[in-house]
Chain A
Amino acid sequence: MKLDSKVPSGPIEKRWEKHKFDMKLVNPANKRKFKILVVGSGLAGGSAAATLAELGYDVHCFCVQDSPRRAHSIAAQGGINAAKNYQNDGDSVYRLFYDTVKGGDFRSRESNVYRLAQVSVNIIDQCVAQGVPFAREYGGLLANRSFGGAQVSRTFYARGQTGQQLLLGAYSGLNRMIDEGKVKMHTRTEMLDIVLVDGHARGIITRDLVTGDIKRWAADAVVLASGGYGNVFYLSTNAKNSNVTAAFRAYKRGAGFANPCFTQIHPTCIPVSGGFQSKLTLMSESLRNDGRVWVPRDKARATDPPRTIPEEERYYYLEERYPSFGNLVPRDVASRAAKKVCDDGYGVAMHEVDGQRNAVYLDFSAAIERDGRDAIADRYGNLFEMYERITGESPYETPMRIYPAVHYTMGGLWVDYNLMSNLPGLHVLGEANFSDHGANRLGASALMQGLADGYFVIPYTIGNYLATEHAGPVTESHPAFEAAESEVRTKTQKLLALSGTTPVDQFHRELGKIMWDYCGMARTAEGLNKALELIPALRERFWKEATVPGNADELNPWLEYAGRVADFMEYAEMMVRDALERDESCGGHFREEHQSEEGEAVRRDDEYAHASVWEYQGEGEKPKLHKEPMKFEYVKLTTRSYK
């Protein structure tokens, strides 16, 4: 596997400009002759499909939901970062770049991050022009708020549903192109394989989730924007249909998978309440702007009503341990701190899970006293209502109880500066790729990256591929399509042949428990080695004991799900392997063997300042590790401190 990052030379602020000029263009009249398949319709896929169609390409877009508007980007609450400096508080492209590289704990590619910060300003312009109703001040100009890991207010937001509003913007752009006949949209359609011809990605195989039809799609390039793999943990804040299948099947065809162990545990989620729980709900990080995190200093008072605990007996552990960032430390730091106080016995959850009360308070009483209930309702009203609907408690009256949960995955398919994987023609955008967030993503940066990739990067870089490397027409009758389709059919039949008595759901829960216990917020070599024994054993049981009802030629949600869980069970092993191999702590990857006396993550830059890229070696074989060194020319490698 060749890993050429194709990062341009020269000063970092000129690289993207220079690269845009150096890239070859496709003649406007020729663009319509190129067919591009976009898999996924979230912020990255939706914006890419719309923009590529505007340029004149023949675009087909696929999503598993019944409408592109339902992609999981829709659930993002808090906001989107941009270096607009509308607040005059010292923000700049360079500062956003600096914060993101540092926030990612020095495991991302500087040039990509700089470009992300540069185009961030265009994203806001684009969204406003589409009619996205961002929050505004009384003077009519755009409002901002702060987010974890930053000391400036650069986050744009639309109450607690920024994701939905941005996605509706991208969706409206997509609708406009569908209306003009330039995008063909395929809803309830799942990509089940990618087809390579002479080493280039030249198409996909899909299953129509309503009729069960398996179909071949030949094209000139493929764009994967299929999201992250957080559901490998079963319980996460991801939507139930989010899965790793598209990315994992690309990996099995030879695409390198980078840093799978980098997963983000979000600090502010509603705690687990029972064994039946099907998903976890996030409470936006923006709440930490006004909410103060604490637990009682006296363990014996953990179950007392929080309002009865006097101020001096409250342990505001983030404010005490990190005086300069306080409650706004980055997510990984806040999550580990919450885990530590709960492990130490200070947790305040209503329910015990595995003998622990895993929750801490997020308290708004000081903010309500300071700004008034109305001001707080204006900022967080819908989040407070959501919390109350789920827990039955009102955050206006009593502190929220929160605990970290799996939220986002920084790892993903390896891509170069052009967002192309090592398989020519296969481009990967958004959460599905690995490049911009390093070992930890800062809040409000996922929406920024998805839209940056889709609106402002891929429209330029895909043209360069088509103009320089692309190798002429291919049709669906090519033997490679025949072979891939037959593999997909065999796999489908193998799943339907499962006639045990255990629902697939149960295997997914067990897998999630293994991953959370051994590859979650804190990891050890011993635990990871144990997971490497447990996962294959679970997989073996799955193929013996699971049951999948129904037929291939009908709407069959259990068949879809079984395929995704089967992939997760293979994927989990690679993730654990990566976590074991990365013998350091960085960002969301915390190896207990590597921590300071105060329990902070200790990186080992001399050995691990690289992306670990895994190459598939065949069924049951250990994947091969490749490394792309991460060089830091601008942001000096330092220990991250938020004290």
Chain B
Amino acid sequence: MKIKLNVWRQSGPKDSGGLKSYDIEVTEHMSFLEMFDVLNEQLLKNPSKHPEGPVAFDHDCREGICGMCSMVIDGVPHGPNKATTTCQLHMRSYKDGDEITVEPFRAKAFPVLRDLVVDRNSFDRIQQAGGYISVRTGAAPDANAIAIGKADADDAFDYAACIGCGACVAACPNASAMLFVGAKVSHLAKVPQGQVERNERVLRMVDTMDGEGFGGCTNHGECEASCPKAISLDAIAMLNSELARAAISSAK
């Protein structure tokens, strides 16, 4: 089938960038990223017609778990299918003659490096600000020494399923990272091992999140809708409650 692609082209962080159109022939079995492989092959084979060269895009595992792929497809991070990363989106979701516009994740805290590639190190820095349990290798008690109820363990897992892709930020009109931070904070707040550092953790992570230039949450819910791992908005409610709890207890 024939697809018209409008792709964001930007040669580097200082270039202002813009959309460029390409016509491309694909099959329904291809993944969305395989379509970009085919496009890049076309661009590489004909450098005189395409002096802008192939399209840079981030990708790695191509099975929906590494969180590296990061396209905004027709205005939606990771495209139209629910709970699906760009790499797992297949062309059978489109039809012959469709026009698709592809842009990078956009946020002040995710500067564009080239074409569709953005810098998401701000997410790492948030997690470095206490997003862990301080346990030294070798100091752990037997794994079955603490029983954790299945319901709590399952909840913790649901939050821990976050792949850190940043779609929540790209989807949010405020470029808020609260779904991401909420998932990280809630995962550790749900397990007994995470209790000791619970207050300090949320205070520091939120402080870092604000410092990186992410916006606040105004309950649009776009983040949940575009999250490839279907992390629930409950994570944000939990983050707010954890923050309030920590603020009160540290004020005492």
Q: Do A and B bind each other?
A: yes
Query: Which residues of A have CB within 8 Å of B147?
Result: 139-141
Query: Which residues of A have CB within 8 Å of B191?
Result: 131, 133
Is B62 a contact of A240 with CB atoms below 8 Å? yes
Is A72 a contact of B61 with CB atoms below 8 Å? yes
Is A65 a contact of B66 with CB atoms below 8 Å? yes
Query: Which residues of B have CB within 8 Å of A434?
Result: none
Is B144 a contact of A142 with CB atoms below 8 Å? yes
In whole angstroms, what is the CA distance A389 to B92 when docked? 10
In whole angstroms, what is the CA distance A38 to B45 when docked? 38
Is B156 a contact of A128 with CB atoms below 8 Å? no
In whole angstroms, what is the CA distance A146 to B34 when docked? 35
B interface footprint on A47-73 (CB within 8 Å = 1, 0 otherwise): 100110010000000000111111010
Q: Of residues 179 to 228 in A, which have CB atoms within 8 Å of B's CB atoms?
A: 179, 185, 187, 210
Question: Would A128 and B137 be within 8 Å (CB), given that A72-B66, A276-B37, A503-B44 are in contact?
Answer: no
Q: Which stretch from B24-32, B94-102, B211-219, B241-249 is at the chain A interface?
A: B24-32
Q: Is A4 an interface residue (CB 8 A)?
A: no
Is B114 a contact of A125 with CB atoms below 8 Å? no
Is B144 a contact of A72 with CB atoms below 8 Å? no
Is A389 a contact of B84 with CB atoms below 8 Å? yes
Is A51 a contact of B137 with CB atoms below 8 Å? yes
Q: Is A513 an interface residue (CB 8 A)?
A: no
Residue from A173, A179, A503 within 8 A of B137 (CB atoms): A173
Is A67 a contact of B124 with CB atoms below 8 Å? yes
Q: Which stretch from B1-9, B158-166, B173-181 is at the chain A interface?
A: B158-166
Is A278 a contact of B33 with CB atoms below 8 Å? yes
Question: Would A128 and B65 be within 8 Å (CB), given that A67-B124, A276-B34, A503-B45 are in contact?
Answer: no
Query: Which residues of B have CB within 8 Å of A129?
Result: 133, 135, 139-141, 193
Residue from B44, B62, B129 within 8 A of A549 (CB atoms): B44
Query: Which residues of A have CB within 8 Å of B170?
Result: none
Query: Which residues of B have CB within 8 Å of A557?
Result: 56
Is B34 a contact of A69 with CB atoms below 8 Å? no
Q: How many residues of B are counted as interface, with CB atoms below 8 angstroms from the partner's CB atoms?
A: 77
Query: Which residues of B have CB within 8 Å of A455?
Result: 137-138
Q: Is B80 an interface residue (CB 8 A)?
A: no
Is A140 a contact of B193 with CB atoms below 8 Å? no
In whole angstroms, what is the CA distance A199 to B227 when docked? 51
Question: Would A392 and B60 be within 8 Å (CB), given that A124-B143, A555-B117 are in contact?
Answer: no
Residue from A54, A67, A84, A130 within 8 A of B193 (CB atoms): A130
Q: Is A297 an interface residue (CB 8 A)?
A: no
Q: Of residues 103 to 158 in A, which have CB atoms within 8 Å of B's CB atoms?
A: 122, 124-131, 133-142, 158
Q: How many residues of A are counted as interface, with CB atoms below 8 angstroms from the partner's CB atoms?
A: 83
Residue from A51, A74, A390 within 8 A of B88 (CB atoms): A390
Residue from A50, A75, A126 within 8 A of B140 (CB atoms): A126
Is A386 a contact of B88 with CB atoms below 8 Å? yes
Query: Which residues of A have CB within 8 Å of B44?
Result: 503, 547, 549, 558
In whole angstroms, what is the CA distance A549 to B141 when docked? 54
Query: Which residues of B have CB within 8 Å of A239?
Result: 60-62, 66
For B85, the closest partner residue in chain A by CB is A389
Residue from B41, B133, B156 within 8 A of A503 (CB atoms): B41
Chain B interface, >50% SS class: loop
Question: Would A126 and B61 be within 8 Å (CB), given that A131-B194, A278-B33 are in contact?
Answer: no
Q: Is B236 an interface residue (CB 8 A)?
A: no
Query: Which residues of A have CB within 8 Å of B27?
Result: 274, 276
Is B135 a contact of A126 with CB atoms below 8 Å? yes
Is B160 a contact of A165 with CB atoms below 8 Å? yes
B86–chain A nearest beta-carbon distance, Å: 12
B114–chain A nearest beta-carbon distance, Å: 5
In whole angstroms, what is the CA distance A389 to B89 when docked? 7
A272–chain B nearest beta-carbon distance, Å: 10
Residue from A142, A171, A555 within 8 A of B56 (CB atoms): A555
In whole angstroms, what is the CA distance A385 to B81 when docked? 12
Q: Of residues 9 to 49 in B, which have CB atoms within 8 Å of A's CB atoms?
A: 12, 27, 29-31, 33-34, 37-38, 40-41, 44-45, 47
In whole angstroms, what is the CA distance A47 to B129 when docked? 19
Q: Is A641 an interface residue (CB 8 A)?
A: no
Query: Which residues of B have CB within 8 Å of A88?
Result: none
Q: Is A477 an interface residue (CB 8 A)?
A: no
Is A278 a contact of B157 with CB atoms below 8 Å? no
Q: Is A175 an interface residue (CB 8 A)?
A: yes
Q: Of residues 37 to 94 in B, which have CB atoms within 8 Å of A's CB atoms?
A: 37-38, 40-41, 44-45, 47, 53-54, 56, 58-68, 81, 83-84, 88, 90, 92
> Can you list 30 contacts pairing A with B, beta carbon distance less than 8 Å?
A67-B124, A68-B124, A70-B67, A74-B65, A84-B144, A129-B135, A131-B187, A131-B188, A131-B191, A133-B191, A134-B153, A140-B149, A142-B143, A158-B157, A159-B157, A161-B65, A173-B137, A210-B113, A239-B60, A240-B60, A273-B29, A277-B34, A278-B34, A281-B63, A386-B64, A390-B90, A459-B137, A503-B45, A505-B37, A554-B114
Taking A126-B137, A389-B81 as known contacts, 12 extra A-B pairs with beta carbons closer than 8 A to each other, sorted by chain A number, are: A66-B68, A69-B124, A128-B140, A134-B143, A140-B148, A171-B127, A172-B131, A173-B137, A176-B132, A179-B128, A274-B29, A386-B88
